[in-house]
A and B are shown apart, each in its own frame.
Chain A
Amino acid sequence: MDLSRRRFLQAAVLTAAAAGATAACGGGSGSSGAKDSKNLTLWYWSGGLSDKVVADAKKHFSDISLKTSVVGGDFKTKLLTGLRAAQSAPDITGIKGEDIASFLPNADRFVDLKTVGADKLVPQYLSWKLKQATTQDGKLIGFPIDIGPCATFYREDLFAQAGLPTDPTEVSAQLATWDDYFKAGVELHKAVPKTFLVNNIGSVFTMVVGQGTQRFIDEDGKFIGDQDHIRAAWTTAVKPYTLGIDAKINDNTWNAAISGGTLGTEIGAAWHALDISNAAPGTKGKWRVASLPGGPSNLGGSFLAIPATSGNPEEAFKIISWILGPENQARGFTDAALFPTAPAAYKLPALTGGDAFFGGQKTIEIFGPAAEKIPAAYEAPADAAVSAPFYSELTSIEAKGKDPDEAWKDAVAQAKQIAQRQGVK
């Protein structure tokens, strides 16, 4: 076959032009340009928002075409990629609670929600949660979807077998401090030898750190992970290991452990209830919820934010505040176990009803008061990176039987090194 030079060139140029035109159109149809676009996109991850509430939002804002994408995989990485090019950035996006701190130094990439109407709504939401999304100069970049007030989930039947109290109020009272909790764990393990108190000691460490008002880096950007508050959390975390009531579960066998009765208690956030009921549907009715030993703590809880490139920030915030209004938050709680960030929702029937999985217990009586008393702690952008060695060393204690004091020294040394690289003093 003879392809003439001219025909070939023509074809090549045409193909290239067509490709270029398609690309250009793709870019042009995005939401860049005027700030009153009627086409808005919303990114969240599966379970990040109530799908039912999102579907209703589309109907409620009928003059806007709201396009939602449930983004799978590593959400933060995809969001970072999206934010780099204005055309591909969503107009509204979810940001996970553990990632919000890392976005604060780049607050200019987001709309300050106080400029589009959030300032009026702020008093209705939990102040410690809003603080997580507020920069040091007062810009609010995220509106809170949910929180993770923590509690002790426990197996009522196993507690009864061990002669421990079974009523949530009594359990909360008797297991009020970490030492009381561990003491109960020893009794539980003695009475039911296959049952342990905690799944791993890292989870205890997370809880105790969350109970404090300081984390690993202070507001002046100074590393404080070697100070007493972290050391105390470490000592508390190591105790269940030395007492032999640590199940040492660091792999993906947690599901089996929870359904097989290997774990008598679980310390975790409100949303953890869904994990437990999914992993062990057979134990329905046997679980109860009591207060967390040592005071309230928070784990996770996400935000909705508006990237600075949003086609219509005003309208975008109207959608956000509608989705996250107390009524819809209550629906989100029943639908997707998202614990509301507006205390007004705690009085709504969706939350005050009993939970069949917890034997009809009204779990809001535990979570509600805890949510309002959670201490606000400054979380630096490098907090996760700097805290990583502590968790790794705690698993080393569990896996290799490493001496806890030596593990502490190694954790602090490594954390200091990471802090130095991250520009922390």
Chain B
Amino acid sequence: MSAGARRGPRRRVAGYWPQYLAISPYYLIFSVFMLFPVLYTVFLAFQKWDGIGDMHFVGFQQFRFLWDDPVFWLSVRNTLVIWVLSTVPMLFMALVLAVLVNSTKRLTAFYRVALFIPSITSLVAIAIFFGAIFSNNFGLINAILRALHLSAVPWMSNEWTIKLVISALMTWQWTGYNAIIYLAGLQAIPSELYEAARMDGAGPVRIFRSITIPLLRPIILFTVVISTVTGLQSFTEPQVLFGSEAATNPNSGGPGQAGLTTLLYFYHQAFDNNDFGYGAAIVWAFFLLILLIVGINWRLVQRKERRS
């Protein structure tokens, strides 16, 4: 009896083998094209390698260099600033939009499609479009400012406005996506709760704070984590906006390296400078940093939940 119980789960796995075989292609492809490269970069981080020549084992030298590399830390600061500047307004606006769409009775399908369109538009196209709008001398925004007899803002050359433009781009792209997720969450809240609150005389703000937010908390947690992961991976935005600025120093993140995110720095080292070992060290160090930030985020949002 006891032996049978021990063998039970294993026998169950063996019994379902066709099903496991059926889902195996995904895992095979995942192992070959994702898991193996990921593990390979761990190996690479300890080597010096230019892509085709011999590899040289250098131990922790790349990481030691990374620790003292001012450009790496600059890129981390840039990434964090861009992430905060984009995620906070993005999630806030997404929530407001979701509540608005949730409260309308007409054209809901249209609103949902409209919200989703930015996130499926080609990021490169959006970046080129933003580049044209915010251009220093020839952009739409500066043209409007000049028409209003205000002074033009050098959007694409000031170190803060560069970050603002990149954040605006990311906000524009992902607000609707998060709004759709919030909308799904909102529709799962039973309408009796709202009716009861209204009967008790609660206004819209009170309802929002005391019913919508608490019940949406797991969803908010989800979007915060997802936005942290995607926001910290910003790469295409600065790459397209400032990527090919000079043939002699490509992918350096624009004037003053203000748009140099960590992933862009990684790309620059690995693919412009053929320094694959250092590139691997950069992404692994950054991976650990993302883990840390996601962890802190999780704790913060969780604690709020416990307190309320």
Contacts and interface: CB of A to CB of B under 8 A. Distances in A.
The answer to whether A and B come from one shared complex is yes
B247 A256 contact: no
B141 to A, nearest CB: 13
The DSSP consensus for interface residues of chain A is: helix
B100 to A, nearest CB: 35
Contacts of B273: 382, 384-385, 388
Interface string A88-107: 00000000001000110110
Contact of B157 (A74, A206, A248, A388): A248
Contacts of A384: 248, 272-273
Contacts of B68: 417
B247 A253 contact: no
B236 interface: no
Interface residues of B, number: 47
A406 interface: no
Contacts of B69: 417
Interface in B236-256: 241-242, 244-249, 252, 254-256
A251 B241 contact: yes
Interface in A388-420: 388-389, 391-392, 395-396, 398-400, 402, 410, 414, 417, 420
A74 B52 CA distance: 16
A106 B50 contact: yes
A400 B163 CA distance: 14
A251 B50 contact: no
Interface of A: 3, 5, 8, 12, 74, 76-77, 80, 83-84, 98, 102-103, 105-106, 109, 200, 202-203, 206, 248-253, 256-257, 260, 262, 299-300, 381-382, 384-385, 387-389, 391-392, 395-396, 398-400, 402, 410, 414, 417, 420-423
A74 to B, nearest CB: 6
A280 to B, nearest CB: 13
Interface of B: 18, 21, 48, 50-53, 61-62, 65, 68-71, 128, 131, 135-139, 156-159, 162, 241-242, 244-249, 252, 254-258, 268, 271-275, 278
Contact of A202 (B48, B61, B136, B249): B249
B254 A250 contact: yes
B156 A391 contact: no
A339 B132 CA distance: 32
A105 B256 contact: no
Contact of B254 (A74, A98, A251, A410): A251
A250 B273 CA distance: 21
